[in-house]
Structure 1
Amino acid sequence: MKFSAKKLAVVSAFALLSAFALPATASAAQVSVPEISQSCVFSSTDDAAVQMRKYIKERTSDFEINIDASVASKETVGQLMIFKAFDETGDGSEGDYLRFAVKKLNCKIYWKNNEYKLVYHLDYYTTAEEEARLTQKLDKTLASLNTEGLSDYNKALLLYRYVTSNVTYSTDIKDKYAYTAYSAVENGHAVCQGVAQLLYRLYNDSGIPCRIIAGIAHDTSGAREDSYHVWLITKIDGKYYLSDPTWDLKAEGDNFRYFLKGSNDFDSTFNMRHIPQNDNGLTFPEYDSDDFRNAYPVFSENAPSPVCSLGDINGDKSINAVDASVILSDYSRVSTCGTSAFTVSQKSCSDVNKDGSVNAVDASCVLSYYAYVSCGGKGSIDDYIKNEVLNNVR
C-alpha cells in the first residue's frame, strides 16, 4: 500500500512572497491575498503551533498564521511550523494522527516588516463532523474494553487484538476513506495507513506512546514489487518495539507475527522487509536519521510476555483478591466486546478449575484459595481445587 504522501499526492508547496500586499499593475489580473483570519502575531513557535493544530483538528481548509520573523529564516519557517503543528502531544487525535489526516498541503509565505504571514490551504481525508462521530465511537469502545488496571503489555495486546479482529484490509485503494481510522471503525476496513492511524489513536488515548512509521515493504526474494507501507513503534516499559497490525489482520487467535517485536526479529518470518523512508521531507520526519533513532530507539529483542502461574495472573508470586479481580475483569470484557487482554499463558493460568473456560467460577476459586491460605491452609492452588472445590462439587 502506498501511504498518502505518495499514493494520493500529498503536495506541500512553500512559496515565499516578498510582501503582504503586492502592488497592482496595469493588467487586469492582480494577486489576491486572503483576508487575515486572526490578527495576533505570534513570537513563539510553540504558541503558533497550538493555533495551527487547532485549525487542523477542526479540519479548517484555509487559515493564516502571523509570526515574528525572528523565529526562523524565510527558507525554513514553513517546514518548521508544519513540524511543530504535528508535534507529539500524547493526545491520540494529534501528532501523527493529524500528520496522516492531511491529504494535500499548500503554504504561501508573505514577509513584511519583520513579520511572516503563513497562508495555508489543506485538504483532508475526513470532515470535522466525521471525526466527531469517530471520537464518540472510540470513546465507547475504550469504555467497553476497560483498560484500567492493565499492564502496558496487556493493554497494548488488548487494543492490538481489537483492531486486528475488527478491521479487514480495503480492496479499493482509490477510496480516500480507506486511508483513515474513520473507515476502519465506520466501515470495518482500511488500508495500512488507516489501520495504523486507528491503533495510534487507541494507544495514545490509553496512555501508550507510539509513532506511525512510513516506508517501504521490500520483497527480498524479488517475487513482487516493493510497495509503500506504514507500521508502528510502541513504547512498553520504557522501551520501543515494532508492530505491524496490517500484516496481522488475518492472524488467527493469538498467532501475531508482528506484535511488539524487537529489531532483530521484526522481519524474520517472511521475505518482506520494512524499510523506513521519508519521501516527503516537508511534512514527514526523517525516520532514518540519527535524531529520530535517538529519540525513538527500538529495542533489539521482542517485548517479554507477562510471567504468570496458575491462579497468579499478574505474576506477583501471590494468589489473592487482585488475581480474582483481574480474571473477573477479563471475563466481563470478553462477555461484552468479545476481546481478551490476556496472553495465551494468562488464559491458561486463569482457568484454575481447568474446565476449558475462564469465567466467574475461576475467580471464585481464586478467592476461596486466598481465604484458605490466609487461615493457615497449606498446599498449591492446584491441589486445593482438586481436593476441596471439585470434591465438594461431586
Structure 2
Amino acid sequence: MIHVFLQLTPPLAFAEYKLMQGRGTGTFFVRHRIKLRRVYMFNRKAGVAAALTAALLFVMPFEAFAKAESASNLTELAKLVNQHGVNREESFEIKYKGDMSDIDTIIEDSDFVFFERTVEMVDDPSTHEDADYLAATMNMSDERYSVSYNEKNVVSFVIPYFETRQQAQYVNGEVPKILEELGVDQMSNYDKVKAIHDWVCNKITYVDDATNCSSMYSAVHDGKGLCNSYAICMYRLCVEAGVPCKFVGGQGGPEGSRDAAHAWNIVALGDKWYLLDATWDDGDDGISYDYFLKGSSDFDAASEGDNKHTLERAYLEDFAKEFPIATTAFKEGMNDENVTVKIGSDDYPEPDPTPTPTVTPTPTVTPTPTVTPTPTVTPTPTVTPTPVPVDTLTITPSTAEVFIGETKTLTANSPLDGATITWTSSDDSVATVKDGVVTGVSLGTATITASDGKDTATATITVKDSGIEPEYVPMYVGDKEKLTADGKIKYYEVDEEGWKKIAKIQKKGKRLVVKAKNPGIITITAYGKNDVVLGQWVVDVAEEEF
C-alpha cells in the first residue's frame, strides 16, 4: 500500500490517502474526501518513488498537477462542465475570464437554467452520455450541490450525480441490446417511439425514492424509477434509435405549484415536436396513451382536476422557438386505439382529408383477378418443399451464440421415420449438449453434431461472456450495503480466501446484504439458475478516517 500525504489549504492541514490497486484489474481506486492542493509522496523504497508518482498522476481525478482550465463565456464554461460531468467528477474548478455576473446568475438561479439549457445543448456526436442525458443525471437537489468563486475568479463546482461512471457504462452496454430486442431497425419513426414508450412503461415500476431511483441505471438494472428515469430512458432510447428527442422538466400538478417537480419529453416527427409523458401513461391498470405524442392544446386533456404540465423557464422562449411544439396530437384519434401506422418518411401529417384517395381501394375490386389466386393452386409445388428435408438431416439454427451458463435448444430434422438422434460436442470444455440442449461452459467455439444413423449435420456454437462488469462498492468498517442482482440469486462465490474476516454476506432473494467487518478487498459473484452470472461486485472495506 502507498501512503500519500496531502497538504490542504486553507487552513494548512494534512490528510492521509490510500491508493489501492483493484484485484487483477489494473484499476486504481482512490479514497478521498477533501480537495487536493499539494501532494507529497513518501515511500520506504525511494527507488520506486518516481514510478509511483507517475501512476498517481494518471489515476487521481484532481487538477492539482495541471494548468487550471479557463472559459471566457458561458458556452465555453458549459463545454468544460460537460467534460467533467461525462466523467462524473463531483468537484472541479474552472477560471472564468468573462463577466462574473454570469456566475452570480448561475448561483442565484433556482431554475438551474445554465445546466438545463446551456450545458444540455453541448452535444458531442461521439457520445450519448452528454447533452440531455448528462443534464438529467446531475442531482442539483442534493444538499452537496454548490457553485462558488473566489477573488481570483476561479469557479468551484460541486455536482452530485444520480448515476456513477460505472453505472453509466453499464447503461451504454444495455441500450443497443434493448433496441435490438425491440427490432427498431425496420420500424418507422412513429413505431419506434411507440415501441420504446411501451418498453419504458413495462420495464419501470414507479418508486418514490429520488436519491436511488432517478437514473436510467436504476430503471434498466433494477426496474425502478421516478419521472426522471422514465424521461431519461425515453430520451436515450429514442436518440439512439434515430428519433430526435429532448428531456424537459417543470411541474406536474396544479398550475403555479413548485412542489410537484416533474420530467417528461418532446419528440420530433417530421418538422414538429410532440409532447410525451411516459410516467403518467404508466397507470395502475396498464399502459395508456393519454400523454403520448400530444400537442400543446391537448397534452393535459386527460388530466384530472387542476393538474397540468408547466414547463420550467429553461424550456421557454428561445427553446420554444428552436423546438416548436405542434398544436394538436400526432394523428389525432390514433393513439387511444393503439393502431400502428407506417408514416414512411415521417413527414408531418396534419389530419388531411385527402385520404379520399382511399377510394382508390376500389381498384382492389379489380382484384377480380383474385380469381387468378387459383394459380395459387400452382403452389402445389409448395408441396415439393416437403421432399427437400427428406433428402438429408438438418439442424436449426445452424449457428448460435450463448452466454456462459446459459442454454440454447437445437432442433434436428431427419428424413428417417422414428430416427433416434444422437448429439455430440467437439469440445465439452466450451459447450456441452444433451438431447439438443446446448449449455455454454467457457469462452470459445464448439461444433455440435447430430446423427440419425445415416446422415450427420452440424451447428456452430459461440460461447460468450455474460458481459456483466464488476461494480465497485466502497465501504467503511461497520457499514451495511444491499447488492442487487439481475435476478433471483441461487448462490454466490467470493474469490479471496479468508474473506469472512472482511465481510459478512447474507443472501436474500435478488439481493446480497454485505456487512463490513475489517479492512480489505473482496470480489463477490452472484449466480442464478443454470449458473448464469447475475452480478459481480468489488467490495473495498476501509477504516473510517476522521
What TM-score does the superposition give when structure 1 sets the normalisation length?
A: 0.61
Give the letter for the 1:108 counterpart.
Answer: S
More helix by share: 1
Whether the 8 Å contact between 2:78 and 2:122 is mirrored in structure 1 is: no
- Alignment match, 1:207: 242
For the 8 Å contact 2:253–2:308, the answer to whether it is kept is yes
For 1:98, which of 128, 134, 138 is the aligned residue? Answer: 134
1:310 is matched with which residue? none
Call closer, same or farther: CA 1:70–1:184 in 2, change over 3 Å.
same
Match of 1:63 in 2: 92
Please identify, of 32-41 and 267-276, the stretch whose mean Cα deviation from structure 2 is larger: 32-41
Change (3 A) 1:120 1:301: same
1:219, distance to aligned residue in structure 2 (A): 6.0
Deviations 1:249-297 (Å, cap 9, x if unpaired)? 248787522210112222222415323243xxxxxx433x333322222
CA deviation after TM superposition for structure 1 residue 130, in Å: 1.1
Pair 1:85 & 2:119 matched:
yes
| 2:305 is aligned with 1:276 | no
Partners of 2:232 and 2:83 in 1: how far apart? 19
- The question of 1:267 aligning with 2:300 is answered yes
3-state SS of 2:184 partner = coil
CA distance in 1, matches of 2:205, 2:183: 23
Deviations 1:28-62 (A, max 9, x none): 9xxx9854554243345444432321211111111
Name which of structure 1's ranges 384-393 and 126-135 shifts more when overlaid on structure 2.
Answer: 384-393
Once the two structures are superposed, what CA deviation does each residue of 1:96-154 show, in whole Å capped at 9, x if it has no partner?
A: 32222122321111243xxx311111111221111111211112212333423532212
- Cα distance between partner residues in 2 of 1:257 and 1:200: 19
Query: Conserved in 1, the CA contact under 8 Å of 2:78 and 2:119?
Result: yes
CA distance in 2 between counterparts of 1:144 and 1:247 reads 24
Moved more, 97-106 or 189-198: 97-106
Within 1, Cα distance between the matches of 2:373 and 2:244? 44
Equivalent-residue separation in structure 2 for 1:382 and 1:215 (angstroms): 59
Match of 1:297 in 2: 324
CA contact (8 A) 1:43 1:71 kept: no
Gap change, CA 1:271 and 1:55, over 3 Å in 2: same
Corresponding position of 2:168: 131
CA shift at 1:157, angstroms? 1.4
SS at match of 2:294: coil
Gap change, CA 1:379 and 1:204, over 3 Å in 2: same
Higher relative contact order (CA 8 A, sep 6+): 1
Matched AA of 1:100: A
User: Structure 1: 5+ residue runs without aligned partners?
Assistant: 1-21, 279-284, 308-312, 317-377
Secondary structure, aligned partner of 1:162:
helix
Aligned residues of 1:306 and 1:314 also touching (Cα < 8 A)? no
User: 1:49 is matched with which residue?
Assistant: 78
2:228 is paired with a residue of what secondary structure?
helix
Aligned length: 290
Structure exhibiting the larger radius of gyration computed from Cα positions: 2
- What secondary structure, in the 3-state scheme, does the structure 2 residue paired with 1:286 have? helix
Deviation at 1:95, TM superposition (A): 2.3
Query: Which deviates the most, 123-132 or 201-210?
Result: 201-210
> Aligned ranges for residues 216-365 of structure 1 at < 5 Å?
216-218=251-253, 227-250=260-283, 255-271=288-304, 273-278=307-312, 285-287=313-315, 289-304=316-331, 314=342
Counterpart residue identity of residue 251, structure 2 = I
Match of 2:147 in 1: 107
| Conservation of the 8 A alpha-carbon contact between 1:55 and 1:63 | yes
Runs of 4+ in 1 over 6 A off after TM superposition: 251-254
**In proportion to residue count, which structure has more strand?**
2
1:71 Cα deviation from its structure 2 partner: 8.3
Instruction: Judge conservation of contact 1:153–1:306 (CA < 8 Å) in 2.
Output: no
- What residue ranges of structure 2 are gaps of 5+ in the alignment? 1-8, 14-33, 38-62, 335-340, 345-364, 384-546
Task: Provide the rounded CA distance (Å) in 1 between the counterparts of 2:304 and 2:292.
Answer: 17
Q: TM-score, normalised by structure 2?
A: 0.46
